[in-house]
C-alpha cells in the first residue's frame, strides 16, 4: 500500500480544495473549503461557470447573498463527489459578532436544505474566536454542525469542546511557520511544534472524554501528516495527497485513545476571562488567529469584487 492507503487505515482523509477533479482522483470521505480556496478555484476556466451562474441567477440580491449562493454551489458540486460532509465557511468579517455568525450559519444551512441536502452533510466553518465559539454553541443545539477553524492554541480547543462543537481544525502548518520564523530553526517529525500542538489537543480530548472531532489542517509536508496518523481526520491539499500516493514508505499509527490516557494533562475549566488571558499569553496563537482572519477577509473582498464586476 502507498502512504495514502496506509493512512486511511487509521484516519479519515479529507480533501482541502475547491478543485473537483482532485477530489475524484483521491477519493476522500469529506472536503473542506474556505474563501481563499474558492477564490483560487473561480479563477480557473473550468469553475468560472459556477461564478457566472450564481451572479446570473441571483443578480438582484446583495453581493453577500450572491457570495453565499456561490459558496453553496461549490458545496453542492462537491457533495456529488464525496460520500461524507462538506465544510462551508462563514464570512471572516463576522468573527467577532456572535449573532451575525449565528444568522449566517442558519442562512447557509437553509440554502443547502432548499437544494435537498441534509444538514448532517454540512459543516459550517467558523473562526475560533470567543464570539465564534459562542455562535457555534447555539448552532449545534439547532442541529447545525460546526467546524471551528483558525485554531492554534489549546484554550481555543478546550472552549470548542466545552461548547459541544462537532469538529475543530487545528492549523499545523501555520504553527510551524510561526516557530520557524521566530526561532530560525527547521522542525521535522515529532519535533514539529504544529504536530505537537495537534497531538496535545487530541490527547486532551480523548483523555477527558470529549466527543469533538480533531481534524489536523494546513500541512506543509507529508512528514507532518504521517506524524498525526490516527488523528480523527486530516484535511490535505491535492499536492500533498499526490505525494502520499506516490510513496510506499511505512506509516505507523501515532495517535490513539489508548496512548492519550497516559498524557500528563490537567483538565482546565475556562470562562471568557481565562480564555482570553490564556490565548493572549500564547503569542503564536494570538498572532496567527488575527493574521488568519485578516487573510480570509481580504480574499472575501476579492471574491466580492469579482462578483460585482459580473453584475
Where do the domains of the chain lie? 3-310
What pLDDT does 35 receive? 86
Q: Write the CA distances from 33 to 17, 134, 165, integer angstroms.
A: 6, 22, 18
Q: Would you put residue 27 in left (φ > 0), alpha (ψ -120 to 50) or beta? A: left
Distance CA 153, CA 63 (A): 34
Q: What angle do CA 28, 5, 75 make, to 5 degrees?
A: 5
125 included as an active-site residue: yes
pTM given for the model:
0.96
Q: Are strands 167-170 and 86-89 parallel, antiparallel or unpaired?
A: unpaired
DSSP string, 151-172: E-SHHHHHHHHHTT-SEEEEBH
Cα atoms in the Cβ-side hemisphere of radius 13 Å centred on 136? 33
Distance CA 92, CA 107 (A): 15
Q: Are strands 12-16 and 233-236 parallel, antiparallel or unpaired?
A: parallel
Distance CA 225, CA 231 (A): 10
Which position among 53, 80, 125, 243 bears the catalytic label? 125
| Domain 3-310 bears CATH identifier 3.20.20.70 | yes
Distance CA 9, CA 11 (A): 6
Spell 275-302 as b/e; 16+ CB within 10 A means b.
beebbeebebbeebbeebbebbbebbee
Place of cell 480557473: 44
What pLDDT does 82 receive? 97
List CB contacts of 126: < 8 A, sequence separation 6 or more.
89, 90, 95, 101, 105, 132, 133, 135, 136, 146, 147, 148, 149
Cell numbers standing for residue 187: 522542525
One digit per residue, the tens of pLDDT, for the chain of length 311 reads 999 999 999 999 999 999 998 899 999 999 999 989 999 999 999 999 999 999 999 999 999 999 999 999 999 999 999 999 999 999 999 999 999 999 999 999 999 999 999 999 999 999 999 999 999 999 999 999 999 999 999 999 999 999 999 999 999 999 999 999 999 999 999 999 999 999 999 999 999 999 999 999 999 999 999 999 999 999 999 999 999 999 999 999 999 999 999 999 999 999 999 999 999 999 999 999 999 999 999 999 999 999 999 98
Cα atoms in the Cβ-side hemisphere of radius 13 Å centred on 228? 37
Amino acid at each position: 500500500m502507498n502512504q495514502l492507503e496506509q493512512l486511511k487505515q487509521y484516519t479519515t482523509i479529507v480533501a482541502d480544495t475547491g478543485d473537483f477533479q482532485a477530489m475524484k482522483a483521491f477519493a476522500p470521505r469529506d472536503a473542506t473549503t474556505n474563501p481563499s480556496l474558492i477564490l483560487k478555484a473561480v479563477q480557473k476556466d473550468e469553475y468560472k461557470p459556477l461564478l457566472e451562474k450564481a451572479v446570473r441567477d441571483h443578480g438582484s440580491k446583495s453581493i453577500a447573498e450572491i457570495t453565499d449562493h456561490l459558496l453553496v454551489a461549490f458545496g453542492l458540486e462537491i457533495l456529488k463527489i464525496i460520500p461524507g460532509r462538506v465544510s462551508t465557511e462563514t464570512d471572516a468579517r463576522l468573527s467577532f459578532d456572535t449573532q451575525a455568525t449565528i444568522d449566517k450559519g442558519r442562512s447557509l444551512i437553509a440554502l443547502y436544505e432548499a437544494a435537498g441536502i441534509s444538514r448532517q452533510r454540512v459543516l459550517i466553518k467558523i473562526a475560533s474566536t470567543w464570539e465564534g465559539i459562542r455562535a457555534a454553541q447555539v448552532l449545534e443545539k439547532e442541529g447545525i454542525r460546526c467546524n471551528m477553524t483558525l485554531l492554534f492554541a489549546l484554550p481555543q480547543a478546550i472552549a470548542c469542546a466545552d461548547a459541544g462543537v462537532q469538529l475543530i481544525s487545528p492549523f499545523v502548518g501555520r504553527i510551524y511557520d510561526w516557530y520557524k520564523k521566530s526561532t530560525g530553526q527547521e522542525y521535522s517529525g515529532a519535533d514539529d511544534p504544529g504536530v505537537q500542538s495537534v497531538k496535545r489537543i487530541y490527547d486532551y480530548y480523548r483523555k477527558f472524554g470529549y466527543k469533538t472531532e480533531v481534524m489536523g489542517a494546513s500541512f506543509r509536508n507529508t512528514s507532518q501528516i504521517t506524524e498525526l496518523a490516527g488523528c480523527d481526520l486530516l484535511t490535505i491539499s491535492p499536492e500533498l495527497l499526490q505525494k502520499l500516493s506516490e510513496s510506499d514508505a511505512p506509516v505507523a499509527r501515532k495517535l490513539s485513545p489508548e496512548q492519550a490516557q497516559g498524557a500528563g494533562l490537567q483538565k482546565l475549566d475556562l470562562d471568557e476571562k481565562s480564555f482570553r488571558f490564556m490565548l493572549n499569553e500564547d503569542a503564536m496563537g494570538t498572532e496567527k488567529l488575527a493574521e488568519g482572519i485578516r487573510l480570509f477577509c481580504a480574499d472575501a473582498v476579492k471574491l466580492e469584487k469579482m462578483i460585482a464586476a459580473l453584475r
